Structure 1
Amino acid sequence: MISMAGKRLVILGCGYVGSAVAKAALAAGARVEALTRNPEKAAALRATGLSQVVVAELGSLQWHAQIAPAPDFVVNCVSSGGPDQYWQSYVVGMQSIVSWATKNGPVGTMVYTSSTSVYPQGDGAVVDETAWAPGATPNGRTISESEVLLKTAPTTAIQRHFILRLAGIYGPGRHHLLDQLRTGTETLNGSGEHRLNLAHRDDIVAAIIACLSAPESVGTEIFNVADTAPATRAEVVAWLCTQLGRPVPAFDGTTTARRGGAPMPDRIISSAKIQQVLGWRPLHSDFRTGFGAILKGEG
């Protein structure tokens, strides 16, 4: 267990991933504060032992006076808040963070959970962090713009930052495909031919903690976070149906679209860099171990 004793962590947009980060950081001895837009989530976070929880929109200025400046660590893991809220959550939210840190004192290390949706590549390409990343959809372009805001923030505001481009997030309580199959659906939209690049919540948390605890010799970096054995959607569906004792549904052949309307690309997201630089390894290296843990945990 990495020790974070005596360190102060602020988690902004503390939802599905952020709550798990808070739990891990508390266990490591950190003092944890959080911001969430959801009052029910705030109550749950307070019950876990966080020293402060603020209810506000990240893109507002409301929280600036409520969270003390100059924390050791900040994690921005805000979610979109809905299909029409991407700009407000990601771009305006990042502007708000940079403004807060510029006016009130420097953040030591910041981690931003971005998305592999910034990559337009497909056609079976292996995609690493050197790949062109302007965003493949309007939503992806918004997230790419939020990355630029962090990349260009002065080091007097944010001394070091890590951008984690996350593959498809799944984990306990978050598994849309598994939920569809449990209903016994006979048809799934789209194709089963493209590969699914996935990242289990617990592996994302481990990657965030690895960044926060990285030695000073590791400077600002961008890392992909994904498992190491992407499989086609058809393979994942067939395996899950076997585990559930359900017949395998047919794919209807329509274009499987991701958020923003573009077709789902077939590519392999490489997480080799974070493995080499930080020694991170996914506990759930493929979908079988990840979904297997979910099925076991849910009985």
Structure 2
Amino acid sequence: MGAGYLGAAIARALPVPVIAISRSGRWREGSQPPGATLHAMDLCDPALDPGPLREAQAMVIAVAPGRTQDRRALYVDGPRRLLERVGAGRLRRLVWVGSTSALPDRDAWLDERCTEPPGHERGRLQREAEASIVEHAERHQIPWLVLRLGGLYGPGRALSRIYRRRHQDPLPGDGMAPTNLVHRDDAVAAVCAALAAPPELQGVIHVVDDDHVPRRCMYARLAALTGQPPVGWAEPAPPGAVPRGKRVSNRRLKHWLGVRLAFPEHRLDDECGG
């Protein structure tokens, strides 16, 4: 398990003992939780030694690329290398934390039954990574779950930072693309529920909140709350102002894992005192 923004929060929520790994071997997000040990490990290193991970009973793989890291090496080749060297081990559950970018950009409600491939490289890499995880798990008869997370926000990653105005130029498009976000704490709850799920539960689960308000509305609300000029868009909003684009369903999150969202809506008002 990684020890970044999400991984560190997962480590704090899990019962001990927990083994976390990071490329640097340093705990980046707050203090190291009691009962968690941190090991330096580079998934992209051909000489990777999984060390204590060989004794793990459950494994969560949650990685995020740095600015200069090769995405294929990190998402596909690295986890495959790690799992090959761990083998079956003592694993009783394998959880891959991926992204809703594995879904196509289509104007529709999309659930986990969607098999249409994404049209962009980032999404295709996510699909390839998922397939590699599932292949290893099924070959070694390890129960598996793939969690596709929406955009993460929460402590230290405020919505007001994500949707702040960065320049005066109009933003591309009309801003009516839906948001597919999830609060970090709800993402942590989903991972914990996945680890506790019965072994017969296997499949893909989308981890997003209930709110799919258009990006245009997020920018407009933030401007109003902070007294800034409204953001301009390259194209006018269509009549009716209905979101157009990918809207990710979270039914399995609730029905399969029983997760009750602490943050079903993403509200700028709470951050800005509105």
Tell me the equivalent position of 2:112: 129
Superposition map of 1:88-167 within 5 A: 88-102=73-87, 105-123=89-107, 125-155=108-138, 157=140, 159-167=142-150
For the pair 1:41 / 2:27, whether they are aligned, the reply is yes
Q: Distance in 2 between matches of 1:184 and 1:153?
A: 43
Q: Distance in 2 between matches of 1:232 and 1:46?
A: 36
Q: Percent identity?
A: 26
Give TM-score, length-normalised by structure 2. 0.86
**Quick one: structure 1 residues 235 and 56, their matched pair in 2 at CA, closer, same or farther if it must change by over 3 Å?**
same
Q: Distance in 1 between matches of 2:24 and 2:43?
A: 11
Q: Distance in 2 between matches of 1:51 and 1:112?
A: 20
Q: Is the 8 A contact 1:98 1:153 kept in 2?
A: yes
Cα distance per residue 1:52-98 (max 9 Å; x no partner): 21112123355535324231211100112236511010001221232
**Quick one: structure 1 residues 295 and 37, their matched pair in 2 at CA, closer, same or farther if it must change by over 3 Å?**
farther
> Match of 1:210, SS?
helix
> Match of 1:69, SS?
helix
Q: Structure 1: which amino acid aligns with 2:96? A: Y
> Match of 2:18, SS?
strand
Tell me the equivalent position of 1:24: 13
> Match of 1:278, SS?
coil
Tell me the equivalent position of 1:3: none
Residues paired across the two proteins, number: 265
Q: Is the 8 A contact 1:160 1:219 kept in 2?
A: yes
**Quick one: structure 1 residues 188 and 181, their matched pair in 2 at CA, closer, same or farther if it must change by over 3 Å?**
farther
Tell me the equivalent position of 2:214: 232
**Quick one: structure 1 residues 49 and 188, their matched pair in 2 at CA, closer, same or farther if it must change by over 3 Å?**
farther
**Quick one: structure 1 residues 295 and 32, their matched pair in 2 at CA, closer, same or farther if it must change by over 3 Å?**
farther
Q: Structure 1: which amino acid aligns with 2:70? A: Q
Q: CA deviation at 1:143?
A: 1.3
1:208 to 169, 188, 191: 191
Q: Is the 8 A contact 1:110 1:158 kept in 2?
A: no
Unaligned ranges ≥5, structure 2 = 237-243
**Quick one: structure 1 residues 49 and 63, their matched pair in 2 at CA, closer, same or farther if it must change by over 3 Å?**
farther
Cα distance per residue 1:205-234 (max 9 Å; x no partner): 110001011134x42121011111201011
Tell me the equivalent position of 1:15: 4
**Quick one: structure 1 residues 76 and 65, their matched pair in 2 at CA, closer, same or farther if it must change by over 3 Å?**
closer
**Quick one: structure 1 residues 50 and 189, their matched pair in 2 at CA, closer, same or farther if it must change by over 3 Å?**
farther
Tell me the equivalent position of 2:65: 80
Cα distance per residue 1:158-196 (max 9 Å; x no partner): 611110111112222224x62366567544522311111
1:220 to 182, 185, 202: 202
Task: Say what the alpha-carbon RMSD is for the aligned residues.
Answer: 2.6
1:178 to 160, 169, 178: 160
Q: Which has the higher strand share?
A: 1
Unaligned ranges ≥5, structure 1 = 1-10, 255-264
Q: Distance in 2 between matches of 1:100 and 1:131?
A: 32
> Match of 2:256, SS?
helix
Q: Is the 8 A contact 2:106 2:246 kept in 1?
A: yes
Q: CA deviation at 1:45?
A: 6.9
Q: CA deviation at 1:106?
A: 3.4
Q: Structure 1: which amino acid aligns with 2:54? A: P
